[in-house]
Structure 1
Amino acid sequence: MTREEKREIRIKIHQVIEKDCKGCPIRYHEQAQMCNSLCPVGEELQLLASNLIGDDYRLQRKKNKRPEDVHKGRWNEEEELYLLHHMDLYPTDHLAKKLNRHPQSVYNKIVYFRKRQQKIIC
């Protein structure tokens, strides 16, 4: 991708944010991550950004295809510890990419950890 093409994509991203996101109530709340996953404008921005950085994982996810190199099966202790320490800091998609796991698998594990924490507290 040439420099000019990248510049055009960045300009397009800026235009979309200025036009559609300026008065959005979701964007200015604590739930800013929802903007990326639920909002059609957020999806458009993610698609533009994936073109900019060449993020094939997001494009495959968009087509509902599972990347072939995603790890399946039991979680090892290292993966669980990483997830425990980072699940409140990063979105599920980012964690899935770092752990080489499917986003739904990471989400399910986070739900499991949170249920366990509630039982321990009670």
Structure 2
Amino acid sequence: MPMPLLPQQIAPVDERQAALTEAHLSGRIGALMDYFLALRAETDAVLAPRLAAAAGKPYPYGRCTEINSDLFSRLAGRVKEPATDVDRILRDFVAQGESSERSGASCAVSISRTPSSSADCTWTSPTTPSW
């Protein structure tokens, strides 16, 4: 039996995850990058004016927890009630990854604010978040 993941530990990608990524996400990297960068811009627009400097450094420094929480909340709401094509793509990706064991959900979305030509989006989840 494999060792359980630590809190916040990203699950290794297995064959099933790779197949789901190929089926739902791989051909849509540009649209996903635009979607997640716009989501981050919305979060920044809301949080930056509200949060004081952390340890003398301006937003976003020292605000990872707040940014992560806001992004995940926005993303969960959009996946729960999809209004755009990308919302629906992500909803279908998550739905296809559902497991009978829904406890201990962990989800990681890696987004670069300065995407390179080889930009990569990764979403890994050992179990499906309860959206």
TM beyond 0.5: no
Q: Which has the larger radius of gyration?
A: 1
| RCO higher in structure (CA 8 A, sep ≥6) | 2
**Structure 1 length as normaliser, TM-score?**
0.32
More helix by share: 1
More strand by share: 2
**Structure 2 length as normaliser, TM-score?**
0.30
